[in-house]
Structure formats: structure tokens, C-alpha cells
């Protein structure tokens, strides 16, 4: 039987007249990495804050780590790590001193050992004596992650943790996430990067505060029902501009030397391609990718 780390139903939250989360239900099994996706203003951050007990839902409920979302928020907070979009440090303290402060907040019984272990795990021992303000963006994010897992939480909530860091730092950050997941930690991570979404076992997509789709990457791609044609050849940028206004074409985007055209109506796509003037490009139907699906979902959201 699958044990759920997150099991919530009908969550709703409004700020004044604005409904930010509207009847959201989602489930995340223990030990999985779940990608939390959606456009700006889709309700991701508000949902995360409800899951960790910082916001009380206006309606709905459920459990997080087996604790009731409404009645046991303090017990939930004790067993989660929450990394916000802007994690705050004391710039005038060293890496080790920042972690020692966090260890005191959690009242850890053996603070020195906990700090030493997390420094080792995050490969930050050489930087332990460095002031936090002197760290690069990637190392600041690593320090933030270290602070979030210092007390060995069962669930890690990450709100766009790699925004603004370079590709190498992002990859190293995700390697750390997978290492912790392999030890049994559940991770819910919001991201705008499709390569990061593809590294998650499960994805959840929100639009307008509502659940649009959830499942494995393969399930999400299959259920979208998209058809994708890809072409190579000359003047693909000009071809893309023309196809964007054709019936049945939802997206026409250039990736390197290839043009990808996507939509739900295969016949309409084929007709649009066949109507192109010579010289014809070399077209072939290809499997949809996760980024094709999410662009499609964003397009549907904007049209609706």
C-alpha cells in the first residue's frame, strides 16, 4: 500500500476578492520527488505555505506526513524543511555560524555534530569559515538547503530553489536532492525549468489555483493528447512565424536547427504544414516532450 506524504483535498485560499487556490487536491507518495509547476500567479507558493502550516486554508483539508493540516500544523512544521524563494542569512556570520544558529532554533541536542554532518554532506567544509555575504549564488542556495535539512526533515518543500543560479550549480543542487530522496526524504519542488521537471518522478501542474494535471512525466505527456511535427531545413524561423497563425497550430517554436510544431488536431497540423510554399522542409512526426505539454497548458490557460 502506498503511503502518502501529502494527501490534501479541496484546498482553497483567497486574499480579499482574489481566489489564489481553488479546490486543489493532490497526493504525493513518501520518498518521491514531485515537481510543482505552473505559471506565475498559479497558486504554487500559497499551496506550499498551506502545506507547511504557515497559512490556514479557507476550505478543504487533509494530511501532511500523516498529521492533520488544520489541527496539527505545529507537528507538521517540526518535520519539514521549507526553502523559500528568498532564503535569508546573516551576512556577517560565517557559513558554520549561520548553521549553528539554525541548529539552536531547532533545539538540536548535539548541535556541533549536526552542523559538521550537514557541512560534510553539502561539501561545504572548506567554506565553513567564509562569510555568507561572500558566497556566490550557487553556494548561497546550497547553504539554504543545508539549513533546511539540518534537523533531518521527512519532507522538503522547495520554492523555486535554483532561480538565478547557473547551469552547473543547478545540476549539483539537483544531485543533492536526489541523494536525499534516495535516503527516504520526500521532496516537493516548484520550478519553471523543464529539465528540472523531467528529473522528478511525479509532476503536478496548476493553473489559476486549480489542478490541471498530475502524474508521472510519461502519464502527463500521454494524457495531453498532443501531436508534434519537427522539421529541419532553411528559413525555419520565418516558417515558424507563418505557422503560428495557422488553424490547429498551438505552438511553433525553434530549438537550435529544428522547428517543432504542436497541437491537438493532427489533421489540422498536417494541413498547415502541407500548405507551406516551397522549398519544403524535411518534416517528421515526433513524440511530445514535457516542455511541449506545459507550453500547451499555458496556452490553454491564457486562452481561457
Question: Each residue of 216-241: pLDDT tens digit?
Answer: 888 999 988 999 999 988 889 989 99
Partners of residue 38 on adjacent β-strands: 206
Partners of residue 159 on adjacent β-strands: 190
pLDDT of the residue at 279 = 64
Distances (CA, A) of 31 to 7, 220, 255: 14, 20, 34
* Domains of the chain as residue ranges with CATH: 4-221 (3.40.50.300), 227-287 (3.30.70)
pTM to 2 decimal places: 0.88
Asked if residue 142 lies in contact with residue 179, where contact means CB atoms within 8 angstroms, the answer is no
Instruction: Report d(CA 147, CA 106) in Å as an integer.
Output: 10
| Nearest CA among 162, 166, 164 for reference residue 176 | 162
Please state, as a whole number, how many other Cβ atoms lie within 10 Å of the Cβ of residue 295: 18
Distances (CA, A) of 5 to 153, 188, 288: 12, 10, 30
Q: What b/e readout covers 223-262, taking b as 16+ CB neighbours within 10 angstroms?
A: ebebbbbbbeeeebeebbeebeebebbbbbeeeeeebbbb
What are the mean pLDDT values of the chain's consecutive 10-residue runs (304 residues total)? Answer: 92 95 95 91 92 94 96 94 85 96 94 96 95 92 94 94 85 92 94 87 90 89 92 89 90 90 93 82 91 81 64
Residues 6+ apart with CB under 8 A from 257: 232, 236
pLDDT of the residue at 304 = 58
pLDDT of the residue at 298 = 76
| Three-state DSSP string of 120-167 | HHCCCHHHCCCEHHHCCHHHHHHHHHHHHHCCCCCEEEEECCCCCCCH
Contacts by 101-110 with C-beta closer than 8 Å and gap 24+? Answer: 102/147, 102/150, 103/150, 103/151, 106/150, 106/151, 108/150, 108/151
Instruction: Report d(CA 269, CA 274) in Å as an integer.
Output: 9
In the DSSP assignment, the letter for residue 94 is B
Instruction: Report d(CA 41, CA 67) in Å as an integer.
Output: 28
Amino acid at each position: 500500500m502506498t503511503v502518502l506524504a501529502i494527501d490534501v483535498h479541496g484546498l482553497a485560499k483567497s486574499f480579499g476578492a482574489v481566489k489564489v487556490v481553488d479546490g486543489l487536491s493532490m497526493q504525493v507518495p513518501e520518498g518521491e520527488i514531485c515537481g510543482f509547476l505552473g505559471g506565475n500567479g498559479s497558486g504554487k507558493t500559497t499551496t506550499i505555505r498551506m502545506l507547511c502550516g504557515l497559512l490556514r486554508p479557507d476550505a478543504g483539508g487533509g494530511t501532511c506526513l500523516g498529521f492533520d493540516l488544520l489541527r496539527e500544523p505545529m507537528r507538521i512544521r517540526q518535520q519539514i524543511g521549507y526553502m523559500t524563494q528568498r532564503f535569508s542569512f546573516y551576512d556577517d556570520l560565517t557559513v558554520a555560524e549561520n548553521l549553528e544558529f539554525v541548529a539552536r532554533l531547532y533545539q538540536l541536542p548535539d548541535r556541533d555534530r549536526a552542523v559538521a554532518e550537514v557541512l560534510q554532506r553539502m561539501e561545504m567544509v572548506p567554506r565553513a569559515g567564509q562569510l555568507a555575504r561572500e558566497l556566490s549564488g550557487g553556494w548561497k542556495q546550497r547553504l539554504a538547503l543545508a539549513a533546511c535539512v539540518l534537523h533531518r526533515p521527512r519532507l522538503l518543500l522547495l520554492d523555486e530553489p535554483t532561480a538565478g543560479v547557473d547551469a552547473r550549480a543547478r545540476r549539483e543542487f539537483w544531485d543533492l536532492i536526489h541523494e536525499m530522496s534516495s535516503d527516504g526524504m520526500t521532496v516537493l519542488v516548484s520550478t519553471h525549468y523543464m529539465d528540472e521537471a523531467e528529473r522528478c518522478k511525479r509532476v503536478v501542474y496548476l493553473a489559476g489555483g486549480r489542478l490541471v494535471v498530475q502524474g508521472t512525466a510519461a502519464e502527463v505527456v500521454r494524457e495531453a493528447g498532443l501531436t508534434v511535427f519537427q522539421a529541419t531545413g532553411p528559413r525555419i524561423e520565418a516558417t515558424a512565424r507563418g505557422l503560428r497563425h495557422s488553424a490547429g497550430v498551438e505552438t511553433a517554436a525553434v530549438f537550435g536547427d529544428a522547428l517543432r510544431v504542436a497541437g491537438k488536431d493532427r489533421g489540422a497540423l498536417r494541413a498547415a504544414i502541407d500548405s507551406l510554399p516551397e522549398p519544403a522542409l524535411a518534416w517528421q512526426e515526433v513524440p511530445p516532450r514535457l516542455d511541449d505539454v506545459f507550453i500547451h497548458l499555458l496556452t490553454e490557460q491564457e486562452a481561457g
